Amino acid sequence: MARARRPFFCGNWKLHGSIAESLALATEVRNGVASLREVDVAVGPSFTALHAVAKRLEDGPVAVAAQDCFWESKGAFTGEVSPAQIADAGCKYVIVGHSERRQLFGELDAAVNLKARAALAAGLSPIICVGETLAERDAGETIGRVQAQLDAALADLGDADLSRIVIAYEPVWAIGTGRNATPDQAQEVHRFIRTRVGARAPSLAPHVRILYGGSVKPDNVRALMAEEDVDGGLVGGASLSAESFVRIVQAGIKEGSAA
Ligand code: PGA
């Protein structure tokens, strides 16, 4: 199947790994995907390992993503890390608005927008996460919730910004639960997201990559990638093993390889 967008798979390692463990995992991932073409791959270590991992992966095919950032560039903000510092550490991407940030740390839609804009200003590509909870899905509010999160996150982004973002649809009920959205469920929301971006920037919408996240595994990625608007995966648990993450990338591009 011809595909307009280059597939992208990003590992989100969450709160896991010493520097040595992160380096070992990153090296295995790099070696595992070295021969693959027509795909972008990134890994997302903890802040403490970002610089070491970025150095190890320098000049190779695997990019590095931070898992969060603050929006200010400097100042009295104890504990925060700026997008410029993340770029300086060697990252290309930063995940913003992950549901764990929203649920466990009270991150609001407006903060996600500030983070996305600050990341873009620092030269990073934000991976903007949106997704509904199980209660919202059961109440028939999936599209409304995703629309609200998306509209807020993209507020005040210009066309040049929109051309550099990645969006991740991550239904909260599918994250770390082993219960992935069905390909149909994912496609419905991905299509909605692309249409919504298209209302803002019609010429850019066909090029924006929309990743699915939530229990992506080697054995479900092909069916997800077969959907027209699913362009890759944001992979948590299954990215902590190089073997399973590489299998996900291999299976994903087999289904969704660029023409
Ligand atoms: P999971 O996590 O693959 O472990 O479900 C995905 C994510 O939170 O990005």
Partnered with residue 130 across adjacent β-strands are 169
Any idea which residues carry the catalytic annotation? Answer: 98, 170
User: What's the burial of 15, exposed, middle or buried (CB within 10 Å: 0-12/13-18/19+)?
Assistant: exposed
User: At residue 258, does pLDDT exceed 50?
Assistant: no
Task: State the DSSP code for 201.
Answer: -
Q: What is the pLDDT of residues 177-227, one digit of tens each?
A: 888 899 999 999 999 999 999 999 999 999 999 999 999 999 999 999 999
In this structure, the residue with its CA closest to atom 1 of ligand 1 is: 236
In this structure, the residue with its CA closest to atom 2 of ligand 1 is: 236
User: At residue 3, does pLDDT exceed 90?
Assistant: no
Angle at CA of residue 59, ends 54 and 62, nearest 5°: 60
Residue 256: predicted pLDDT: 54
Residue 1: predicted pLDDT: 45
Tokens, residue 84: 């410029």
pTM exceeds cut of 0.85 = yes
Residue 130 CA to residue 113 CA, distance in Å, equals 12
Residue 233 CA to residue 252 CA, distance in Å, equals 9
Task: HSE, CB side, 13 Å, CA atoms: give it for residue 30.
Answer: 18
Q: State the distance from the centre of ligand 1 to the C-alpha of 189, rounded, in angstroms.
A: 17
> What average pLDDT does this structure show over 47-62?
97
